[in-house]
């Protein structure tokens, strides 16, 4: 097979930032690295792209191998290519973020690589440029969630408006007016009100809602102005 002459060969890898919401705080899932360099240090879920697969396929495979997670929302968001980012060999990393409902996948997560959830404000020092990856993933998530209803991927199938507001407030590190938030979120036409209530926090209780998946794609762009000035978030 003919090869390009005088070109340097390099490795391709993928790294996955797994976001999960525990009902109060946005968390990310980290593992202990299993090999040198930086063995036993905290790391994102990562690995090399094999010769017979795409980056997307590698991300799915690696996430399944290291955490047991399968069938989750996964989106490519940036390529990290600084020449010295890996001390062993020149490696370009294609980064993804994943969004999961912690309660749904709690029992599915494998313990083999000692995964652990960390709140975003308590992330330990990570290997290589992984802290930079996390920071950029958070910025990109905030930007995308202002335009599209991505954050529903972090919620259980049935949720209350206070829980949804708590998620948005934690992601954007701000406070929303309760009535204004409810009015705006219901105006999107994406929610279906249920007959039952969550009475865990008050006697009156809060009605449950579900995402209207039938109209999800049709109304996908109604979030365009849900968060003011999303361009200011990146």
How far from the centroid of its chain's Cα atoms is residue 21's Cα?
9
pLDDT in tens, 104-136: 777 778 788 888 999 998 999 999 999 999 999
19 and 135: one domain?
yes
- Residue 169, SS3? helix
Indicate if 100 and 210 belong to the same structural domain: no
Confidence band for 96, pLDDT divided at 50, 70 and 90: very high
Rounded Cα distance, 134 and 221, in Å: 26
Closest CA to 131 of 33, 17, 19: 17
Rounded to an integer, the average pLDDT of 168-192 is: 89
Average pLDDT score over the chain: 88
Q: Is 93 within a domain?
A: yes
Is residue 20 domain-shared with residue 130, that is, in the same domain?
yes
Judgement on whether residues 133 and 56 belong to the same structural domain of the protein: yes
**Which of 147, 167, 192 is the C-terminal boundary of a domain?**
147
Evaluate if residue 171 carries a pLDDT over 50. Answer: yes
Contacts with 118 (C-beta within 8 Å, 6 or more apart), sequence order: 27, 28, 29, 30, 124
- Identify the CATH number of the domain in which residue 209 sits: 1.10.10.10
For residue 33, is pLDDT > 70?
yes
23 and 132 share one domain: yes
pTM of the entire predicted model: 0.89
**1 inside domain:** no
User: Are 77 and 24 contained in the same domain?
Assistant: yes
Mean pLDDT to the nearest integer, 52-79: 93
Give the CATH number, domain containing residue 63: 3.90.79.10
């Amino acid at each position: 097979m003919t090869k390009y002459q005088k070109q340097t060969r390099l490795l391709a890898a993928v790294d996955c930032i797994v976001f999960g919401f525990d009902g109060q705080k946005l968390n990310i899932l980290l593992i202990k690295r299993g090999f040198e360099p930086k063995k036993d240090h905290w790391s994102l879920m990562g690995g090399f792209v094999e010769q017979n697969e795409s980056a997307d396929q590698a991300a799915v495979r690696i996430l399944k191998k290291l955490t047991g997670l399968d069938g989750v929302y996964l989106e490519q968001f940036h390529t990290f290519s600084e020449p010295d980012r890996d001390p062993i060999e020149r490696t370009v990393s294609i980064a993804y973020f994943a969004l999961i409902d912690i309660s749904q996948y709690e029992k599915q997560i494998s313990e083999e690589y000692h995964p652990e959830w960390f709140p975003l404000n308590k992330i330990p020092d990570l290997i290589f440029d992984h802290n930079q990856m996390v920071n950029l993933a958070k910025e990109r998530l905030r930007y995308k969630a202002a335009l599209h209803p991505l954050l529903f991927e972090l919620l259980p199938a049935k949720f209350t408006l206070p829980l949804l507001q708590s998620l948005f407030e934690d992601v954007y590190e701000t406070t929303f007016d309760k009535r204004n938030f409810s009015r705006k979120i219901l105006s999107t036409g994406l929610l279906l009100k249920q007959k039952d209530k969550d009475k865990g926090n008050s006697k009156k209780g809060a009605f449950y809602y579900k995402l209207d998946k039938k109209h999800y794609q049709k109304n996908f762009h109604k979030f365009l102005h849900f968060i003011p000035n999303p361009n200011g978030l990146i």
